[in-house]
């Protein structure tokens, strides 16, 4: 028996069901992909702060001081310059680029604050990044306010804060 032209295609109902199933699967995959991207950005933030900690430790080892109020590649240390005939020391001597937050828009920026204990000598600091998702790394960080930097975690703000090791 030969099929006529009208009997060979799909019905409109069959096509709509297939389109609905494809749309549903696309929505599920997209939502999982979005949460994976947020977790990836959070992992980069934690890694960046660890890299900055290492840079600051190397800088402190040389200068016995942390940089002032901001992290800048070209900012010279006020403690090491000309001391004992040593050349000027800059953060750029230890890191080629200061990392920035993957989003790099407020409130997703890195915060740094040094605390001078005596005139012009910073012996402590805090670094903060705002995470997008709850992470197990939040159990290992600082959860108090330090040098006016709020580090406590709430239901809407997940702050990852570190101090010198």
pLDDT digits (tens, 9 = 90+) for 34-72: 788 888 999 999 999 999 999 899 888 887 888 876 776
Residue 3 lies in a domain: no
Per-residue confidence (pLDDT) for residue 1, from 0 to 100: 54
107 in any annotated domain: yes
Q: Is 130 left (phi over 0), alpha (psi -120 to 50) or beta?
A: beta
Q: Say how many domains are in the chain.
A: 1
Has residue 2 been placed in a domain? no
Length of the chain: 165
The CATH number linked to 62 is 3.30.700.10
Say how far apart CA 4 and CA 40 lie, in whole Å. 55
Instruction: Return d(Cα 103, Cα 63) in angstroms, integer.
Output: 32
Q: What percent of the chain has pLDDT over 90?
A: 23
Task: Report if residue 45 sits inside a domain.
Answer: yes
Q: Is residue 1 part of a domain?
A: no
pLDDT digits (tens, 9 = 90+) for 85-122: 566 777 888 888 888 899 988 889 888 888 866 666 77
Q: Taking the model in full, what pTM does it have?
A: 0.74
Identify the pLDDT of residue 47: 93
Residue 71 lies in a domain: yes
Residues 35, 133: Cα–Cα separation, whole Å: 8
What pLDDT does 76 receive?
59
pLDDT score recorded for residue 135: 83
CA atoms of 77 and 134, how far apart (whole Å): 37
| Nearest to 52, CA basis, from 104, 87, 101, 86 | 101
Widest CA span in the chain: 102
- DSSP label at residue 108: B
Query: Does residue 5 fall inside a structural domain?
Result: no
Q: Look up the domain containing 74 and give its range.
A: 14-162
């Amino acid at each position: 028996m030969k099929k006529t032209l009208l009997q060979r295609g799909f019905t409109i109902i069959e096509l709509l069901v297939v389109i609905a199933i494809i749309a549903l699967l696309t929505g599920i995959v997209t939502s999982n992909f979005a949460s994976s991207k947020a977790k990836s950005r959070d992992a980069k933030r934690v890694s960046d702060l660890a890299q900055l900690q290492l840079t600051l430790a190397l800088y402190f080892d040389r200068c016995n001081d942390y940089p002032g109020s901001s992290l800048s590649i070209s900012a010279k240390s006020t403690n090491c310059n000309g001391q004992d005939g040593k050349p000027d020391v800059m953060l750029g001597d230890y890191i080629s680029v200061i990392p920035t937050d993957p989003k790099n828009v407020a409130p997703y920026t890195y915060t740094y604050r040094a605390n001078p204990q005596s005139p012009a000598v910073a012996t402590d600091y805090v670094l903060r990044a705002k995470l997008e998702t709850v992470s197990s790394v939040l159990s290992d960080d600082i959860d108090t306010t330090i040098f006016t930097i709020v580090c406590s975690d709430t239901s809407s703000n997940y702050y990852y804060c570190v101090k010198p090791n």
